Amino acid sequence: MAERICPRYKVRRLVMSLKNKIYITEFDLKRLKGLIKFAQERWDKSVLQYLKELEEELDRANIAKPEEIPTDVITMNSTFGLHDLDSGEDFVYTLVFPARADSASGKISILAPLGTTVLGYRVGDTVEWAAPAGRKRLKVKKIVYQPEAKGNYHA
């Protein structure tokens, strides 16, 4: 088991065997690489380390054509359920690009620590990180909606 820690947000991501190998569509990869390039050129330098973490996650991912992505994977614009293994609470989020983020409606940005952490994970996988309030362990419980599963390959 290997650990990665993002210094800016103190995000700890545990990479456990092949079960936690992440999957990303070719379309999402292209858009996310574009987002990283845009952000590196225009945003404050304080976010560069965090963008590097996202880029490292993309580099280690299995890349698939949108129509071939497993239906139990969190992709961009997917709505998914998480279960907090410590508190027992359940949450539902939608993973979105920064411009569409709205925490009040459960839309989390890919650039938020949780967004980067869950991208490409599958139902049954567990993610863990050190949050300001302490260590969090969340299990991907279900995919409520995945664009690719509905034939929407360019969501």
Q: What is the pLDDT of residues 100-149, one digit of tens each?
A: 999 999 999 988 888 888 999 999 999 887 677 788 899 999 999 999 99
pLDDT value for 15 = 38
Distance CA 20, CA 41 (A): 31
Q: Is the pLDDT of residue 99 over 50?
A: yes
Can you tell me the mean pLDDT for 64-85?
A: 95
DSSP-derived secondary structure letter, 128: E
133 - beta bridge partners? none
Q: Is the pLDDT of residue 4 over 70?
A: no
pLDDT value for 153 = 77
pLDDT value for 141 = 97
The answer to whether domain 2-148 has CATH 3.10.50.30 is: yes
**Residue-wise over 19-32: b if at least 16 C-beta within 10 A, else e?**
ebebbbbebbbeeb
Lowest mean pLDDT segment, chosen from 35-44, 55-64, 69-78, 117-126 = 35-44
What token pair was written down for 146? 């995945």
Q: Is the pLDDT of residue 21 over 50?
A: yes
pLDDT value for 18 = 36
Give the chain's length: 155
**Residue 44 burial class via C-beta count within 10 angstroms: exposed 0-12, middle 13-18, buried 19 and up:** exposed
Sketch the domain layout of the chain as residue ranges: 2-148
pLDDT value for 143 = 98
pTM of the predicted model, to two decimals?
0.80
